[in-house]
Structure 1
Amino acid sequence: YLQQGVDIDGVDNSPEMLSICQYKADQLKLRPTLYEQYLEHLELPRKYKTILVPSSTLQLITELEAIELAMKRLYEHLLPGGILVASMMTLWKEGEPLESEWEKTAVRKTDGVTFRRVARSWFDPISECEHTEDLYQKIIDEQVVMEELHQRSPATRSYSQSQAKDLFEKAGFQNVRLFSEFTFDVVKSEDRLFSVIGQKPFS
């Protein structure tokens, strides 16, 4: 967006992600304004016409009190009439398995080193949160030479379409609309990935 001339700032709670963003910006000779903050404690020096929360980021805030605080801070950082846009997902539906596991490998072309990810997740219908376990391995000559295990419990909160709409409306947003995936098509009942747009009142 910055490369296209959009007046935009960036926020992340991960210094590593901000460093990657800064590095990529440097390669393009861009000078982004970046902030290391948590959404539930957002405190920026300006207000915005539009705030975009991509990649189901809101769902990484699993505590109900914390997500309410985050929505309040986002609301407060919008100008009157401003828009909040967020992508969200329904992680589980009634009747589906509560656990899943999958594996993916990739080979680095430069040296033939194989990288493998073994992912496992399980969903708790009571808390409506997903828990994850990811094992990353570096393999040389069919031998595992390095591995890391990452566990997040809980990792993400699931939202139905109605729950996502309620989340926005409870924070004070009006004209809350849901769209199918990343389009402007009206959301369908079977859509598990959808985008939510809410507007802060003009007064």
Structure 2
Amino acid sequence: MPPTDEPDYEYRGLMAQAWDSLRGDTSDWPDRAFYRDLIRASGEPVLDVGCGTGRLLLDYASEGIDIDGVDNSPEMLALCREKASELGLEPSLFQQQMELLELPRRYRTIIVPSSSFQLLVERDDAREALRRFRDHLEPGGRLAMSFMLMWSGRPQTAEQADKWHMRKRLAELADRSPKATVRRWSRARYDSDAQLEHTEDRYEVIVDGEVVETEQHSRSPSARWYTQEQSRALFEEAGFADVRLYSEFSRDAATADDRIWTATATAAR
């Protein structure tokens, strides 16, 4: 394989810098209350896996919840630390990969929000990550993570795979002078047999109506998807008990029509 100067983590450069701006206000996202209720029921301390810039972690820490974060992107963690400092918080943040997780303490609750687990495209890495999560839970502790079925189930044409789509909206890019906005274009190809997604993202920085900077991110594959049955089997194979699948972020049981569901399970006592 030829040498490359690209870092071995996905969320970097404009992707990291524009992450919060492009997502906008997430205060009403339904997973926020779901995971908070789980934490209240299962207890602390809590580990937020794939914490990124701290969307959930900083909210929970501000409420007095004992929560740590882990992410494989140093750039996302740096942004999280900056935001934490502005709030007067000093959470413990670790730069590690899920499948290599090795932290100094155990947790009552581990959450893996935003379908971050699906960024592990190798099946062996996914299995190892689940084993690591189990080993980092106290006996009786709970794991919760969301899944998303990325493929629509319909065959994808070459034209559909090649077409770029503008994602979200123009958003102001923080800490830029002169004032700049950013927009994101994306396209994706789906391998239904392998259950893998391949993606390209293009970020454009715009000043006074002109594109002054462009950054492209390609990942092939970028994510793996699972069926509900496969997600349940993963938990059970890793030694978890009381596996439950919920419809999106409700307390209703997942149905066959759900494209988003949250799986929870208990570490053996």
Aligned to 1:171: 238
Map 1:148-167 to 2 at 5 A: 148-167=215-234
Aligned to 2:187: 120
Residues 65 and 137 of structure 1, relative CA distance in 2, 3 Å threshold? same
Distance 2:98 2:206 in 1: 38
Offset of residue 45 of structure 1: 1.1
Offset of residue 116 of structure 1: 2.8
Distance 2:111 2:155 in 1: 31
Distance 1:115 1:46 in 2: 39
Residues 101 and 165 of structure 1, relative CA distance in 2, 3 Å threshold? farther
- Equivalent of 1:145 in 212, 235, 243: 212
Distance 2:190 2:267 in 1: 33
Aligned to 1:55: 114
Matching residue's letter, 1:164: S
Q: May I ask how many residue pairs the two structures share in their alignment? A: 202
Larger helix percent: 2
Aligned to 2:87: 28
Root-mean-square deviation (CA, aligned residues, Å) is: 2.0
SS in structure 2 opposite 1:178? strand
Distance 1:187 1:43 in 2: 32
Which runs of no fewer than 5 residues in structure 2 stay unpaired?
Answer: 1-59
- Equivalent of 1:135 in 172, 177, 202: 202
Offset of residue 144 of structure 1: 2.3
Map 1:49-88 to 2 at 5 A: 49-88=108-147
Offset of residue 146 of structure 1: 1.3
Offset of residue 5 of structure 1: 1.2
Please give the per-residue CA displacement for 1:117-144, whole angstroms capped at 9, x wherever unaligned: 2210000112211000011112345432
Offset of residue 20 of structure 1: 1.2
Which runs of no fewer than 5 residues in structure 1 stay unpaired?
Answer: none
Aligned to 1:187: 254
Please give the per-residue CA displacement for 1:133-191, whole angstroms capped at 9, x wherever unaligned: 01111234543221111101111101111111111111111111011111212212111
Aligned to 1:95: 154
Larger strand percent: 1
Distance 1:53 1:14 in 2: 15
